[in-house]
Amino acid sequence: MPFGPIDRLFAPAPAAARVAWLRGAQFAHRGLHGPGVPENSLAAASAAIERALGIECDVQKSADGKAVVFHDWDLDRLTKRTGPVGALTAEKLGQIFLAGSIDRIPSLREFVGLVGGQVPVLIEIKSKRETHPAPLCFAVRRVLEGYRGAYAVMSFDPRVGHWFARHSPQAVRGLVVTEENRRSFPWQLYRHWCLWHAKPDFLAYDVRDLPSRFAAAQRARGFPVLTWTVRSPELREIAAHYADAPIAEGAGIA
């Protein structure tokens, strides 16, 4: 099936100037974290800023509808507490220490307030199939109103990109993609449908899937391709050949 004309119709390429800042950047995956510096913490953000690295972070919704910076759905791995993140208010979450540190779970407002435009930020919006992401998208937009630094929102969920395209079109938006060896025609069609629905400005692609015909086709049309998670010099080489910017951690950071 010739997807090219349909892609151009339903997901036109972004203006080059809109996404130029993404190309050639390097993003610290969940901040520049390591021993004593937890992922998605203010300390990890500060460490990335010191190295002049862009920052990728994860955001989900608290019980009172605030955007908080945390990756897992549950507290168990990253704190000494247990249970779902979404069951607690942002104030309660902000009192919980991240394991092995004096950092607490930050709100998105605290996180971008610390960054303050010093480096670019990628905000991955977490979602679940059974719930609509609109309330979290709204909470993120509310935090970013008036923010002057370079930022983008992105998600595996094409509904997130669709929401921002309709309600906050000035926000640069990305579609996060993993193929996981699902390259049959139905999965190809699904990836294109996600592209058409999300109407992204860039792709954030699983480095394990590169090279990818889908990613290459969109890149050729003018979509920057970022790639995650680059954890080694070997993966950094793959990123250099098939993508425009790595989202990296550990030995993957140049």
CA distance between the termini of the chain: 40
Quick one: how many helices (H) and strands (E) in the chain?
Answer: 10, 9
Strand 121-125, strand 151-155: pairing: parallel
Phi-psi region of 199 (alpha: psi -120 to 50; beta: other; left: phi over 0): left
pLDDT in tens, 58-111: 999 999 999 999 999 999 999 999 999 999 999 999 999 999 999 999 999 999
Cβ atoms of 53 and 28 closer than 8 Å: yes
Q: How far apart are CA 210 and CA 116, in angstroms?
A: 33
Residue 104, burial from CB neighbour count under 10 angstroms (0-12, 13-18, 19+): middle
In this structure, the number of other CB atoms found within 10 A of the CB of residue 9 comes to 9
Q: What is the pLDDT of residue 2?
A: 81
Pairing relationship of beta strands 54-61 and 27-29 according to DSSP bridges:
parallel
Across the chain, which has 254 residues, the per-10-residue mean pLDDT values are: 92 98 98 97 98 98 98 98 98 97 98 98 97 98 96 98 98 97 93 98 98 97 98 98 98 96
The predicted pLDDT at position 182 comes to: 92
State residue 181's pLDDT score: 85
Fold: same for 1-25+154-163+170-254 and 26-119: yes
Residue 75, pLDDT score: 98
What CATH class is the domain 1-25+154-163+170-254?
alpha beta
Here the tokens at position 172 are 């640069």
pTM of the entire predicted model: 0.97
Instruction: Give me the residue spans of the domains in the chain.
Output: 1-25+154-163+170-254, 26-119
What local confidence, expressed as pLDDT, does residue 92 receive? 98
What would the two tokens of residue 207 be? 């480095």
- Beta strand extents in the chain (DSSP E only): 27-29, 54-61, 67-69, 121-125, 151-155, 172-177, 202-206, 225-230, 245-248
CB-side exposure of 91: number of CA atoms within 13 Å?
Answer: 1
Which stretches within 78-157 are classed as H helix?
90-93, 108-115, 134-144
pLDDT of residue 219: 98
**pLDDT of 136:** 98
Q: Tell me the CATH class for 26-119.
A: alpha beta
